[in-house]
Structure 1
Amino acid sequence: MTLIIDLLQQMSVFVVIAYLFTKSPAFRPLTSEVLPFRQKFLLYLIFSSFSILGTYFGLPVKGAIANTRAIGPVLAGIIGGPGLGLATGLTGGLHRYTLGGFTALSCGISTTLEGLVGGLVYQHLTRRNLADKRFSPAVVLATTFAAETLQMTVILLLSRPWQDAFALVRTIALPMMLTNSVGAALFISIIRDQKSVRDRVGVISSAKALKIAEKTLDLLSQGFNRETATRIAEVIYRETGVGAVAISNADELLAFTGLGADHHLPGSPVQSPLCKTAMREKRVVFADGHQRKFICTVSEDCPLGSALIVPLMCDDEVVGTIKLYEPKQKLFLNINRALGKGLAHLFSNQLLRSRFQSQKDLLLQSELRLAQAQVNPHFLFNALNTIRAIVTRDAEEARSLLLHLSTFLRKNLKRTGDLASLAEEVAHVQSYLKIEEARFADRLQVSFDIDPALEPLQIPVFTLQPLVENAVKHGIANLLEGGHIAISAREREDFVEIVIEDNAASYCEQEQQNGLGIDLVDKRIRNIYGPSYGVRLSCLPEQWTRARIKLPKPGGPKP
């Protein structure tokens, strides 16, 4: 009983060490199922030290040492796997061997095997997707008890004289099996509890970040200005509970909410040395209020005492900052510190995405303007020649064609905005086709089948004309007779479909490489409505070519 009490006192030292260990940065690797080599090496040093200290703190008994050495190797194996457990056990065993005694060899071997036992339990649990059971006190207690039983068996098998080995085991077996098992279980219990606390904090922090992101990301797509910054600052202030939140661009304060709002006024220039340092050096600046104080440059009576300033980056350029503040009498929580950094990273990515989207929109608009302004010289030449031929025999028809030509050119050059009604797009195409019908005469017939309910539908401007022009230029122009173009618009189950079909079937492969035809229309639709919509071209050789335009139903995705 005395030996058990002495060993329990020794084990209590390890419990204190375990508690301190969970407060150190070295604890963090334990939360991962797969450990990098660097973290495994750190854990090897820690648990090897536990094993060696367990020997040093041991009690001399019958020419041997009663100890708590097994805690280190078993825990190393259970937490880090067979390799870590074996390495830790071998180190602790070699150290024990150097101390001598008739059990030196058997204890050295058994300590190594104890680390391996812990590692085998790790393998068993991970292969069955039960890795979290590594942190179960019951599992660790049973594993350590089994490992200590193995050690007693090895001592009986290898130590000589056998009578002395038997007398030693009879004395130390139960005390060591109990204290090592209980000590390892308490150690892992402390680790598990601290891990649970960290996990809960992480969940809370992630939930806050997701909630803030959900409420703010759409705002950034509207631009980085005072209005959006104010709304974002209010969301962060409400969700984090910090003393104040500020957002600035590179030159001035865009928004401020919370304590000190009476003198931190939007529109005022950025003056804080901490803020300037964060932007100049492109790094997070933290003034905890103790070692580094936040000093307000606007008012001596400012209630704020600590600050976290995180730069907002876009293309490696500082475009502003997010600043979280706490009052002088309140500690700045680490969870808010980590959350502030995460939000700044999130917003920086969103700003970069918004900039990319703006550039993409400008490029598409430039392509659209080019396409609108680019009147095909051959079309204009053919149209004028057609009108000249008709004017001598039918002046009225010639005047009508001139009217259609002028209407087509005017709409081509002066259409403004990104959207037009389907009715307007059809009217634009009709002006073009009237001229082509006159040019091709009996070689071209056109039919329209447009659902009247869809005529008000807003679609991207310049959607139909390039596809109809392709049908004429690459399809009907190659036929000697019987050319036909059919344009229809129908509402399907969950989308609107516009189809432009001709009976030439001679330009499908060629059009797939056309940059200003179907490709431009497809890119613009996808850019506005998303990847589920766009243009798909299909052909049935010698029968038809069909361009299908898929658009959202009225009330669907907005541009």
Structure 2
Amino acid sequence: MARVFVTVWLLVCALCGLSGFWVSRRRPPAGGPAAFATLRVAGRAAPSLRTGLSRESARKAVRHLRCLLGTASLVVTSTDQVLAGAGERRPGDAQALAGARAVLASGRTHLVDGGVVVPLVVAGRVVGALVASDAEVTAPLVRTVIEVGRWVSGQLELAELDQSRRRAVAAETRALRAQISPHFVYNSLTTIASFVRTDPERARELLVDFADFARYSLRRARDFTTLADELTCVDRYLLLERARFGDRLRFSVQVAPEVLAVPVPFLCLQPLVENAIKHGMPGEVRVVIRDAGPEAHISIEDDGVGMEPGRVQAVLAEDHEGGIGLSNVDSRLRQIYGQAYGLVVETAPGKGTRIRLRVPKYRPAHGSL
């Protein structure tokens, strides 16, 4: 959080300085102040920089960065190559890298013949440089190039944070698959085995259901799937549990057709249904999914023993023994959508348990299908 605050503060300082420098080098567009023009150009450069430093992102951002500076040319380099350049009298790649070599080694701004070279720094590491060239290298130009370099570094640092979060979510998803309850696997196979002699056709059907469930749960899936796919997984799981518990397990599923295509985090429903069966047997488990405008509202309810309300926080803070914990689903929902989108658990002793969650219909930018 502190790192993000520092980055935002540097952005504010940089843009304030840039707006003043813009006045001295470029006439502001008619009908708008210089600060607005500066912010608009910076906003055009930011999206590509937030993807990280690459040849493609540098190519998209370099002309906007040169527009911010008002220099004759601007070159963006990595630590070992020129990524992109724009403007007149642009130095050749070899010349630009030669000018950037001292900056890449020291991490400090350097003046070169006809230009300024500033480092691009992410988490204390120099990842590249800006090489700005102009007819005259003035003190205001040097200060402005430095501030632009700091702003670009801040955007690249935010990009790295985004990538780290995506890697964390992917790692958590892989860990989630590894947590498929071994008790459920054992019990399902034991149940199937019990039908092999008495009802071979039933055993075959259950084995196909188990294979479908395992294929979905253990596939190399991405972070997101659809509600339709999640419900198919839940359906296979419930069929296997029904074969095990017989009439002691009753369940119903009500779904608004409009939400079937809504993207949801992978394996976000089955763990909740598993929890409801564990704590609700014997009894009924009800899954209801409603269309709520910009969101899908989901509830999983059982009429089992329930629990003390004070126990809820402890349950959400620890993983389910031998399987996928509610805390796993809760933390992923909060991480992906924000703190307001965690699980809501309503329960009381002898009154059963209802787990509610809300899922926006849009897919977050860092997710994929």
Contact 2:59/2:83, CA 8 A, preserved across alignment? yes
Partner of 1:533: 341
Contact 2:169/2:223, CA 8 A, preserved across alignment? no
- Measure how far apart 1:242 and its partner are: 1.2
Structure 2 residues not aligned, in runs of 5+: 1-16, 24-33
The answer to whether 1:256 aligns with 2:60 is no
Partner of 1:201: 20
The answer to whether 1:427 aligns with 2:213 is no
- Measure how far apart 1:202 and its partner are: 7.2
Partner of 1:498: 298
More strand by share: 2
- Measure how far apart 1:336 and its partner are: 3.9
- Residues 90-489 of structure 1: pairs in structure 2 closer than 5 A: 201=20, 207=36, 210-261=39-90, 264-265=92-93, 271-272=97-98, 274-287=99-112, 294=113, 306-327=114-135, 331-473=136-278, 475-476=279-280, 479=281, 481=282, 483-489=283-289
- Measure how far apart 1:333 and its partner are: 5.0
Contact 1:387/1:401, CA 8 A, preserved across alignment? yes
The two structures have a TM-score, normalised by structure 1, of 0.55
Which amino acid in the other structure matches residue 484 of structure 1? E
Instruction: Please give the alpha-carbon distance, in whole angstroms, between the structure 1 residues aligned to 2:233 and 2:80.
Output: 48
Structure 1 residues not aligned, in runs of 5+: 1-197, 288-293, 295-305
Contact 2:18/2:68, CA 8 A, preserved across alignment? no
- Measure how far apart 1:432 and its partner are: 1.0
Instruction: Please give the alpha-carbon distance, in whole angstroms, between the structure 2 residues aligned to 1:491 and 1:462.
Output: 20
Instruction: Please give the alpha-carbon distance, in whole angstroms, between the structure 2 residues aligned to 1:203 and 1:406.
Output: 65
- Please say which structure displays the higher CA radius of gyration: 1
Instruction: Please give the alpha-carbon distance, in whole angstroms, between the structure 1 residues aligned to 2:317 and 2:338.
Output: 22
- Structure 1's 454 and 231: CA in aligned 2 closer, same or farther, altered over 3 A? same
Which amino acid in the other structure matches residue 489 of structure 1? I
SS in 1 for 2:343: strand
Contact 2:73/2:89, CA 8 A, preserved across alignment? yes
Contact 1:313/1:319, CA 8 A, preserved across alignment? yes
- Structure 1's 260 and 524: CA in aligned 2 closer, same or farther, altered over 3 A? farther
Calculate percent identity across the aligned residue pairs.
28
- Measure how far apart 1:404 and its partner are: 0.9
- Structure 1's 547 and 278: CA in aligned 2 closer, same or farther, altered over 3 A? same
- Structure 1's 222 and 398: CA in aligned 2 closer, same or farther, altered over 3 A? same
- Measure how far apart 1:541 and its partner are: 3.5
- Measure how far apart 1:400 and its partner are: 1.7
Instruction: Please give the alpha-carbon distance, in whole angstroms, between the structure 1 residues aligned to 2:95 and 2:241.
Output: 62
The answer to whether 1:522 aligns with 2:322 is no
- Measure how far apart 1:234 and its partner are: 0.9
- Cα deviation code 1:75-132 (max 9, x no counterpart): xxxxxxxxxxxxxxxxxxxxxxxxxxxxxxxxxxxxxxxxxxxxxxxxxxxxxxxxxx
Q: How many residues align?
A: 332
Instruction: Please give the alpha-carbon distance, in whole angstroms, between the structure 1 residues aligned to 2:252 and 2:316.
Output: 25
Partner of 1:9: none
- Structure 1's 526 and 350: CA in aligned 2 closer, same or farther, altered over 3 A? farther
- Measure how far apart 1:231 and its partner are: 1.2
Alignment RMSD, CA only?
2.7
- Cα deviation code 1:155-196 (max 9, x no counterpart): xxxxxxxxxxxxxxxxxxxxxxxxxxxxxxxxxxxxxxxxxx
- Structure 1's 546 and 490: CA in aligned 2 closer, same or farther, altered over 3 A? same
More helix by share: 1
Which amino acid in the other structure matches residue 361 of structure 1? R
- Measure how far apart 1:447 and its partner are: 0.9
- Measure how far apart 1:246 and its partner are: 1.0
SS in 1 for 2:102: helix
Contact 1:485/1:500, CA 8 A, preserved across alignment? yes
Instruction: Please give the alpha-carbon distance, in whole angstroms, between the structure 1 residues aligned to 2:77 and 2:147.
Output: 17
SS in 1 for 2:74: strand
**Worse-superposed segment, 533-542 or 242-251:** 533-542
- Cα deviation code 1:54-92 (max 9, x no counterpart): xxxxxxxxxxxxxxxxxxxxxxxxxxxxxxxxxxxxxxx
Instruction: Flag the structure with more relative contact order, 1 or 2, with Cα contacts below 8 A and sequence separation at least 6.
Output: 2
Contact 2:52/2:160, CA 8 A, preserved across alignment? no
- Measure how far apart 1:416 and its partner are: 2.2
Instruction: Please give the alpha-carbon distance, in whole angstroms, between the structure 2 residues aligned to 1:422 and 1:358.
Output: 26
Contact 1:425/1:462, CA 8 A, preserved across alignment? yes
The answer to whether 1:512 aligns with 2:316 is yes
SS in 1 for 2:134: strand
